[in-house]
Amino acid sequence: VTDRRPPVGEFEWIARLVEILGGTAAPAGRPEIGDDVARIAGPDGTQWAWTVDTLVEDVHFRFDWLDPAPVGHRALTASLSDLAAGGAGPVGALVVLAGPPATIAERAEGIYRGIGDLARKSGCPILGGDLSRAAGPLHVTATALGRAPQGVLTRSGAEPGDAVWVTGRLGAPAAAIELLAADPAAGRAHAAYGRLAWPEARLDEIAWLRQRAPIHAVIDLSDGLSGDARHVAERSAVRLVLEADRVPIHPAALDAAGPDPARARAWALHGGEEFELLLCAPAGALAPLVEEFTARFDLPLTRIGTVAEGAGVAARGADGETPLEPRSWDHFG
Amino acid sequence: VTDRRPPVGEFEWIARLVEILGGTAAPAGRPEIGDDVARIAGPDGTQWAWTVDTLVEDVHFRFDWLDPAPVGHRALTASLSDLAAGGAGPVGALVVLAGPPATIAERAEGIYRGIGDLARKSGCPILGGDLSRAAGPLHVTATALGRAPQGVLTRSGAEPGDAVWVTGRLGAPAAAIELLAADPAAGRAHAAYGRLAWPEARLDEIAWLRQRAPIHAVIDLSDGLSGDARHVAERSAVRLVLEADRVPIHPAALDAAGPDPARARAWALHGGEEFELLLCAPAGALAPLVEEFTARFDLPLTRIGTVAEGAGVAARGADGETPLEPRSWDHFG
């Protein structure tokens, strides 16, 4: 949350990871490094989705901004949201805490309570884990496993002509981070704070949609809309054209932005730390479902653009198309 | 490797973990927190085994003792050995590195190579992972998933009357640690070093045994024979009586102990950092397999005791039974 810049050359390292480790997969089981989840086929053909995420103190969270329970909640949500992006329902999770004994003594119970409450609510039992002493910051790692009877969704299936949709309303987590950075007490008191502290993985929403319409590609917005739209464009070898003024902005972000709504729009476009989903589906497939979806989940489902041939991500405004560059790292750097 | 003492109250924290998180499991899916692996049933009834292990720099390894490739090798071996203890064959793994950018730039490639080479050799493709900056020590986390068509083995199935067996010869990793602590260069040059740097998970061995004999309980010796025997005794609600002078000692440990073979025996009984397996099986079940096992895997399989009614772990010597207390923490503290 405080410093989301990648390690020097993170993307180069991920490329090396694929190069060094990619060859370890059997020819029939190409590794899906770069997707939200790894995909595994069971002996009966059932597809399983699997993910792991580590949150590091003072990189992904700060204890003066978040109490232990929301830290645990966010750690499990990160993995559950990956399962949602894979169109999978949770089967279980394992949790690792590693940090100084004093930190563990002070924070572990709250973190476990945050994890446990979400595990019960989302039907994702915690089946085990690990606990280790470590100097330095606390690391909270969750790995989650899910099943996708209809197959695992990826970032790579978007097709020219698809419509681009987004769940929920964006920008509140980034707003909360700016407010906290300026004044932790005021930040905690603002309406935007809840979206940062208690985010929701869209597991039920994606399951409901998949039963009613074809979905070609999905990603969760952990890196921010502009950055994650780029991941879909790259992996699907297409161009995403977003109508920036259709992107739904969370009212708490608008409130936090005060007299400058452009700040709220920037949070919504680039802010990240969201667990909303971006979906690509055939034109006309989701529109008939919007009313029932919104009523059922008390959540907007908004068409924000189209998929075209080409590459990259563009914002289409009154003055035509302009490239939409990710700003998420700069925003938090 | 340098400081294996648990965080203050680790065992109390694990008890709290079970209390807080245990209730998240569905009634039919009691969490197996405390076993080497979590157990999951697929829709077709196939049992899956799942584990996660974190190695922390300066707790579980030191870069002045181990090059990056063995660090990666050990990280994946820890998870593969858990699968072996569960009687499962590997399906895949995810890997997380978290540390300072300078450490990642200097060490990640070697760590990935150690992981990748073992992944290929053991048929366990690396399917994804995570990479994060973090201040402080490097954390290397591996989570591995396996399938157990014959069902997942646990620590809890030992029965009075069973024989207790161990694979391989013990004590070399602990010997290597003592040698390294005294003189890193001399430690690296000693024959015991290879057992610390390049340990082997007994995946093929357990698969072969299970096809030929009933196995009631298994654990890998990561905490040391005395400590891990206690885990089996507690989880199975039985007493393990070990014939201490039957425990096979690795020749490199005897060499390192020099004129004091009692040191080598202490390393073998308490040292830990082993990935050999302790097995409990019906009396007479494994003895007929020893010759073929040893020839096939170039590895001893040795009966070292029996399972009795009662509790705890005892060593049976010339002067009767004495309690065998774990000394693994003291040994490295």
User: pLDDT tens, A108-135?
Assistant: 999 999 999 999 999 999 988 888 999 9
What residues have CB less than 8 Å from B17, skipping those under 6 apart? A112, A129, A131, B33
Interhelix angle B290-297/B203-210, rounded to 10 degrees, is: 150
What number is the ipTM of this complex? 0.91
Contact (Cβ atoms closer than 8 angstroms) between residue A99 and residue B6:
no
**How far apart are alpha carbons A34 and A37 in whole angstroms?**
8
Measured at the alpha carbon of residue B118, what is the angle toward residues B117 and B120, in degrees to the nearest 5? 70
pLDDT at A153 over 50: yes
**How far apart are alpha carbons B131 and A7 in whole angstroms?**
8
Contact status of A8 with chain B (Cβ, < 8 Å) = yes
Lowest mean pLDDT among B163-167, B198-202, B222-226, B229-233: B222-226
pLDDT at B28 over 80: no
Give the model's pLDDT for residue A102: 92
Give the model's pLDDT for residue A31: 44
Contact status of A2 with chain B (Cβ, < 8 Å) = no
> What percentage of chain B has pLDDT greater than the value 70?
89
Nearest Cα to Cα of residue B107 among B70, B134, B135, B142: B70
Contact (Cβ atoms closer than 8 angstroms) between residue B296 and residue B212:
no
pLDDT at B166 over 90: yes
**Portion 111-130 of A in contact with B at CB < 8 A:** 112-113, 115-116, 119-120, 123-130
* pLDDT, chain A, mean: 90
| Greatest Cα pair distance in chain B | 58
**How far apart are alpha carbons A118 and A139 in whole angstroms?**
19
What mean pLDDT comes out for the span B121-140?
93
**How far apart are alpha carbons A294 and A302 in whole angstroms?**
10
Q: Is B320 left (phi over 0), alpha (psi -120 to 50) or beta?
A: left
**How far apart are alpha carbons A240 and B155 in whole angstroms?**
53
Which amino acid makes up residue B74?
R
Where does residue B182 rank: exposed (0-12), middle (13-18), buried (19+ CB within 10 A)? exposed
What mean pLDDT comes out for the span B280-295?
98
Nearest Cα to Cα of residue B315 among B225, B251, B249: B225
Contact (Cβ atoms closer than 8 angstroms) between residue B280 and residue B163:
yes
Contact B143 A94 (CB under 8 A): yes
Top residue of A12, A54, A61 to mutate, by most chain B CBs within 10 Å, is A54
pLDDT at A300 over 50: yes
**How far apart are alpha carbons B3 and B58 in whole angstroms?**
7
**How far apart are alpha carbons B224 and A221 in whole angstroms?**
45
Beta strand B139-148 with B89-99: parallel, antiparallel or unpaired? antiparallel
Top residue of B10, B11, B17, B35 to mutate, by most chain A CBs within 10 Å, is B17
Give the model's pLDDT for residue A10: 56
Give the model's pLDDT for residue B264: 96
Q: Which residue of B has its CA nearest to A45?
A: B44
Q: How far is B318 from chain A (nearest CA, A)?
A: 39
Contact (Cβ atoms closer than 8 angstroms) between residue A136 and residue A39:
no
Give the model's pLDDT for residue B4: 46
Which amino acid makes up residue A252?
A
Nearest Cα to Cα of residue A146 among A206, A225, A224: A206
Contact (Cβ atoms closer than 8 angstroms) between residue A301 and residue A289:
yes
Q: Which of B40, B53, B135 sits opposite A92 (nearest CB)?
A: B40
Measured at the alpha carbon of residue A222, what is the angle toward residues A217 and A225, in degrees to the nearest 5? 65
What mean pLDDT comes out for the span B175-200?
96
Q: How far is A265 from chain B (nearest CA, A)?
A: 28
Q: What count of other Cβ atoms lies within 10 Å of the Cβ of residue B259?
A: 5
Which amino acid makes up residue A172?
A
Contact (Cβ atoms closer than 8 angstroms) between residue A96 and residue A132:
yes
Contact status of A223 with chain B (Cβ, < 8 Å) = no
Q: How far is B19 from chain A (nearest CA, A)?
A: 10
**How far apart are alpha carbons A250 and A59 in whole angstroms?**
25
Give the model's pLDDT for residue B252: 97
**How far apart are alpha carbons A145 and A137 in whole angstroms?**
26
- A-chain CB neighbours of B16 within 8 Å are 108-109, 112
pLDDT at A52 over 70: yes
Instruction: Give the confidence band of B29 by pLDDT, cuts at 50, 70, 90.
Output: very low
Q: Which residues of A124-151 are buried (b: 16+ CB within 10 A; e: fewer)?
A: bbbbbbbbbbbebbbbbbbbbbbbbeeb
Q: Can you list the alpha helix ranges (DSSP code H) found in chain A?
A: 10-22, 68-85, 101-122, 172-182, 184-189, 193-197, 203-210, 225-236, 251-257, 261-270, 290-297, 328-332
Q: Which residue of A has its CA nearest to B108?
A: A13
- What is the Cα Rg of chain A in Å? 19
**Portion 21-50 of A in contact with B at CB < 8 A:** 21-26, 29, 31-35, 37-40, 42-44, 46, 50
Give the model's pLDDT for residue A282: 98
What mean pLDDT comes out for the span A281-303?
98
SS3 at position A102: helix
What are the tokens at B7?
Answer: 């965080």
**How far apart are alpha carbons A113 and A68 in whole angstroms?**
8
Stated pTM of the model: 0.92
Give the model's pLDDT for residue A33: 56
Q: What count of other Cβ atoms lies within 10 Å of the Cβ of residue A234?
A: 15
Residue B287 carries which DSSP code?
A: G
